[in-house]
Structure 1
Amino acid sequence: MTNSKIKHFVVIITLCFSFACKQEKGQLIEIEGKQIPVDSSLSGIDSLTAFIAPYKKRVDEVLDSTLAHAPRSLDLNDGERNTSMGNFLADLIFEETAPLFKTKTGKELDFVIMNHGGVRAILSAGPVTARNAYEIMPFENYISVVELDGTAVRNLVLYLAGARRAHPIAGMQIVMDQDGGLESITIGDSPFDESRSYFVATSDYLVAGGSEIGFFPNVESTTDTGYLLRNAIIDHFRKKDTLTGQVDDRFIMKDQ
């Protein structure tokens, strides 16, 4: 057989195999589905349970190791305008963020504000663990520092004065008069100065407009610390032997 005939033979055989192996594209004609409740009625898969077990054991050891102690429970509903849990959280955010912000920018942090709804658990009396931090702050939210001018700070305070919930604050005192008007604002140790700007620590979620509260419609600058709120809580737990918080005079409503 000549080379030419061999080449033609190979081409023909190849084409035959190509057509023989060609499959028609299928068409989706029906989809069926059903709801599977995820509850105790579902049985585990032994092989997966065995595979996960050592990892779960290690995670539980880390989360449940004692980091500090709370002599009494800190609550979110034990005060009208500020609460023991809210004050504790705002104070620790100030304490953990201020030196970091100073290192990054050379500037001083003025005050802290968080939203009441962002604090998802109280701190019960007894041993305090990393698991408590995950319960308090289950979200992957970071601490941001925003720069607000005096007008924005005043508007923020007026919002807090009219709010129905006690939003956590630190580094600031607000006093409302007997008629419900704003009597005074003190930031740090100084009276509020509307002609200057202030640096405020909060969560990146609120800076982005989350929760529809509208704390920060106008900011002059934003500094992303790269510091998870939950990590700040855990770091604070590790530094402190005893954790305390109380309702105080950071927000005063004078009796009518």
Structure 2
Amino acid sequence: MSNKPLDFMPTKINKIDYQLLILLGFIAIFISCKKEQIQVKTIKSETVEINDNINSDSSISDFVKPYHEKLTEKVSEIIGYNDQILSNEEVNLQSTLGNAYADICLNFALPKFKEQTGRKIDFALFNYGGLRQSVYKGPIKVEDIFELMPFENMLVIAEMSGEQVQSLFDYFEKNKKAHPISGVNLTFEGEKLSEILIDGKKFSKTENYLVLTNDYLQKGGDNMIFFKDPIKLYSLDAKIRDVIISEIKLKDTIKGAIDDRIKMIN
């Protein structure tokens, strides 16, 4: 979202015309309730060009103005500070932005899920393409988070079998993208994933795992089909963008760094 004011489609319909249209609509509904057979004889169409030559209706502009001003004030709110640029630039299948994002989501979800179920989320995985721009150094506004994540994705937790989680790590190994991940330590020897630690323990195909992700990926988005048929699916009823905004407000300053969650041994 930019600082440019929102544009609204100009129209020539005034209040009287609008009321007349509503009245005609009720008349049409009343007539359509009769049991008479009506057959369409002719359909006519007309192309109306929408351009700057059409004058806007001041009554609509006046009606919208307070909402527009409130929205502008809302998205311009400063919610925190970033002491360095967080970007999707890849380093050893990580990025500073991806690490910060995955950690924020997992740190939010852990206590919420524990309170709901008494269980602990094992790790989090999201998609590289879900983050659309960097978060630059300096004050962070609400609009920056909307530009970072212009989606309505929700946080979900998928309970997965060891075989399904193995497919997840196979995808990570083959895809070679810095997909945001938190709660795991992966070691690569060359191109191959040689060690997987989840919460400090070796991954086991015989165990089930609780994995935090978003509803788009859980439905198979970005070809992450291993999420599609979980043993059980949980929802936190939390929109990710709102989570990020609330967590930045809570922490004031956000940080993201390349760390040892992924190691590359040549």
Aligned match of 1:194 in 205, 210, 219?
205
Match of 1:130 in 2: 142
Query: Take 1:28 and 1:94, find their aligned partners in 2: how far apart are those partners?
Result: 61
Q: 2:122 aligns with which of 90, 110, 132?
A: 110
CA gap of 1:129–1:26, structure 2 versus 1, over 3 A, is same
1:239 and 2:253 aligned: no
| Structure 2 stretches lacking a partner, 5+ long | 1-35
Q: Match for 2:234 among 214, 223, 240?
A: 223
Rg larger in structure: 1
Match status 1:214 vs 2:229: no
Number of residue pairs aligned between Structure 1 and Structure 2: 231
CA shift in 2, pair 1:32/1:102, >3 Å: same
Match of 1:98 in 2: 110
Code of the aligned partner of 1:204: D
RMSD: 2.3
The farther-off stretch of 44-53 and 94-103 is: 44-53
Q: TM-score, normalised by structure 1?
A: 0.82
Matched, 1:76 2:88: yes
Change (3 A) 1:42 1:196: farther
**For 1:103-159, what per-residue CA distance to the aligned partner results, in whole angstroms no more than 9, with x for missing partners?**
111000110000111222221111112222222222221110011111211221111
Task: Write the letter of the residue equivalent to 2:40.
Answer: Q
Equivalent residue, structure 2, for 1:53? 65
| 8 Å CA contact retained: 1:84, 1:245 | yes
Q: 2:187 aligns with which of 175, 180, 195?
A: 175
Q: Do the aligned partners of 1:206 and 1:215 also contact (CA within 8 Å) in 2?
A: no
The CA distance in 2 between the partners of 1:251 and 1:116, in whole Å, is 15
Q: Distance in 1 between matches of 2:81 and 2:90?
A: 20
1:31 is matched with: 44
2:165 touches 2:226 (CA, 8 Å); kept in 1?
A: no
What letter is aligned with 2:196? Answer: I
Q: Is the 8 A contact 1:78 1:247 kept in 2?
A: no
- Distance in 1, matches of 2:174 and 2:65, equals 50
Taking the aligned partners of 1:54 and 1:140, their CA distance within structure 2 comes to 25
Residue 256 of structure 2 aligns to a residue in which SS? coil
